[in-house]
């Protein structure tokens, strides 16, 4: 282990004795020139890397022209000074192009490996060092690191040979971790698809494999038990729109689509009307009603209300005389989602299903409540088991992420040495 000294940077601590402490302006030059190019390659900065942006699809914020954008070269280090809370918003560019001047574009000087400082800056986001130097209206609103502050921000400077060794080591280790991360994400996707298939099978075929079947006449359903009914959503469910002025309901719990997990029926969290800062009219809903998000319906955000409260006008409170849980599972099924997707597929910017369209969705179900209850009990146990497996996989992802962060911290601050 190398002999250590105090860096005088409290979030860095001890560093090897032969490392120096410098400032950003000593290692990098900020590129502020305007591109003034015809038909430039437009770039965007994401956590996954610097991407070539497709401006033909009209997605996201588009500039009137790109002449004021900054030119980007391969190996430029780009930082987002406006997002200091959510994570490692910096990356090395692998392509040439232009990028919004809202980002900080740094070109390295002699003796600097930009890949080393890409890792170093990621740690500054993670440990909230950049955040501590930010300024703005509030933490949630444009909390920004201005360049005057950034250029004086402390860097630690290992000898270039050591920078190169650390970069080679960390890139190899991070590639291994990322490969494991991708594999686990695929396992989660497979489990989620399996859960949806289990739900769809149960709410369209029932639980008796020997039951006599008939054709449902619905493309995505096919054969169903002979004694089941084919009908439309509006004949078993009614949307209970009940918009109220929120001023009288400030202490009521409030639910929006963001509070509901996609494809699961799980209410993740909620706040009071006052805490959420709601000012527009909301629907008054009651315990036991189904709450279904009419916007971005492909996300399948649906839950059963565990209490009385208010929900966003982007949601439908729904009542049914059938088993409420069965109806929720039916909404979560692939055949229901396929019909909803077909109705809303041409609404690109903000897909939304209206009451009339929802009402004519074709559904199948047993007319016997007892059979519905048996299916619900079966699905509850099955989905619980699959959800537990998914949560275990997500915990593995979190462990990998923390391991990756600790590796980067230990090596870019010299706590561990690459042999």
| Per-residue pLDDT reduced to its tens digit, 331-365 | 999 999 999 999 887 776 778 999 999 999 999 99
The percentage of the chain sitting over the pLDDT mark of 70, rounded to a whole number, equals: 95
In a domain, 184, yes or no: no
Would you say residue 59 has pLDDT above 60?
no
| pLDDT value, residue 199 | 98
pLDDT digits (tens, 9 = 90+) for 196-230: 999 999 999 999 999 999 999 998 999 999 999 99
Specify whether 120 is located in the same domain as 212.
no
- Tell whether 100 and 228 lie within a shared domain: no
Whether 127 is covered by a domain: the verdict is yes
State the Cα–Cα distance between residues 111 and 205, nearest whole angstrom.
68
Beta strands at 223-225 and 228-232: parallel, antiparallel or unpaired: unpaired
Q: Do residues 149 and 21 both lie within one domain?
A: yes
For 60, left (φ over 0), alpha (ψ -120 to 50), or beta? left
Last residue of a domain, one of 371, 388, 412: 371
Q: What is the pLDDT of residues 350-405, one digit of tens each?
A: 789 999 999 999 999 998 999 999 999 999 999 999 999 999 999 999 999 999 99
pLDDT interval class at 414 (50, 70, 90): very high
Same domain, 210 and 94: no
Residue 108 lies in a domain: yes
**In which domain, by residue range, is 86 found?**
4-158
Q: Which residues have CB under 8 Å from 404's CB, separation 6+?
A: 173, 174, 177
Mean pLDDT value across residues 35-40 = 79
Does residue 113 sit in the same domain as residue 213? no
Read off the DSSP letter of residue 32: -
**Residue 273 pLDDT exceeds 90:** yes
Indicate whether 403 belongs to any domain: no
Calculate ∠ Cα 380-385-388, nearest 5°: 120
Is 391 contained in some domain? no
Q: Indicate whether 65 belongs to any domain.
A: yes
- Examine the domain organization and report whether 141 and 201 are in the same domain: no
Same domain, 208 and 337: yes
Q: Record the pTM.
A: 0.85
Asked whether residue 116 is assigned to any structural domain, the reply reads: yes
> Which distant-in-sequence residues (6+ apart) come within 8 Å of 291 by Cβ?
255, 260, 285, 302, 303, 304, 305, 311, 315, 316, 317, 318
- Which pLDDT band, with edges at 50, 70 and 90, does 34 fall under? confident
* pLDDT exceeds 90 at position 55: no
Final residue of a structural domain among 158, 178, 209: 158
Does one domain contain both 276 and 361?
Answer: yes
**How far is it, in rounded angstroms, from Cα 376 to Cα 369?**
10
Q: pLDDT tens, 105-140?
A: 999 999 999 999 999 999 999 999 999 998 876 666
Tell me, yes or no, whether 133 lies in a domain.
yes
Residues 237 and 293 in one domain: yes
- Regarding whether 11 and 153 lie in a shared domain, the answer is yes
Domain at 305, CATH number:
3.90.220.20
Mean pLDDT of 55-74: 71
Residues 38 and 95 in one domain: yes
Q: How many domains does the chain have?
A: 2
pLDDT tens-place string over residues 276-321: 999 999 999 999 999 999 999 999 999 999 999 999 999 999 999 9
For residue 407, the model assigns a pLDDT of 97
Q: Which of 158, 185, 209 is the last residue of a domain?
A: 158
Question: Are residues 200 and 149 both part of a single domain?
Answer: no
Beta bridge partners of 129: none
Contacts of 399 (CB under 8 A, 6+ apart): none
- Examine the pLDDT at 62 and tell me if it is beyond 70: no
pLDDT reported for residue 83: 74
């Amino acid at each position: 282990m190398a002999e250590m000294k105090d860096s005088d940077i409290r979030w860095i601590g001890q560093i090897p004795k032969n490392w120096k402490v410098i400032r950003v302006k000593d290692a990098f030059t900020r590129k502020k020139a305007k591109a003034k190019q015809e038909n430039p390659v437009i770039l965007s900065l994401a956590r996954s890397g610097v991407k070539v942006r497709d401006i033909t699809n009209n997605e996201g914020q588009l500039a009137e022209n790109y002449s004021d954008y900054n030119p980007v070269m391969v190996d430029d280090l780009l930082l987002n000074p406006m997002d200091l809370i959510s994570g490692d918003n910096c990356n090395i560019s692998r392509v040439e192009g232009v990028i919004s001047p809202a980002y900080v574009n740094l070109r390295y000087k002699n003796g600097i490996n930009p890949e080393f400082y890409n890792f170093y800056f990621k740690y500054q986001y993670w440990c909230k060092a950049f955040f501590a130097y930010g300024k703005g209206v509030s933490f949630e609103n444009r909390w920004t690191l201005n360049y005057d502050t950034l250029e004086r921000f402390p860097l630690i400077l290992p000898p270039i040979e050591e920078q190169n060794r650390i970069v080679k080591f960390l890139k190899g280790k991070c590639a291994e971790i990322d490969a494991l991360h991708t594999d686990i994400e695929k396992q989660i996707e497979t489990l989620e698809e399996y859960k949806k298939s289990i739900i769809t099978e149960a709410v369209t075929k029932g639980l008796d494999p020997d039951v006599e079947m008939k054709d449902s006449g619905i493309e995505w359903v096919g054969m169903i038990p002979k004694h089941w009914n084919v009908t439309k959503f509006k004949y078993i469910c009614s949307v209970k729109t009940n918009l109220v002025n929120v001023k009288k309901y400030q202490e009521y719990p409030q639910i929006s689509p963001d509070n509901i997990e996609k494809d699961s029926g799980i209410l993740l969290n909620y706040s009071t009307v006052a805490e959420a800062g709601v000012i527009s009219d909301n629907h008054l809903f009651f315990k036991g009603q189904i709450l279904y998000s009419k916007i971005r319906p492909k996300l399948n955000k649906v839950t059963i209300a565990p209490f009385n409260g208010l929900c966003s006008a982007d949601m439908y409170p729904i009542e049914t005389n059938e088993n409420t849980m069965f109806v929720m599972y039916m909404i979560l099924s692939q055949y229901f989602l396929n019909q909803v997707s077909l109705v809303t597929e041409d609404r690109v910017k903000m897909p939304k299903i209206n009451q009339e369209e929802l009402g004519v969705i074709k559904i199948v179900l047993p007319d016997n409540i007892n059979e519905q209850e048996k299916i619900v009990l079966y699905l509850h146990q099955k989905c619980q088991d699959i959800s537990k497996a998914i949560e275990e996989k997500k915990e593995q992802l979190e462990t990998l992420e923390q391991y990756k962060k600790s590796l980067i911290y230990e090596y870019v601050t010299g706590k561990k040495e690459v042999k």
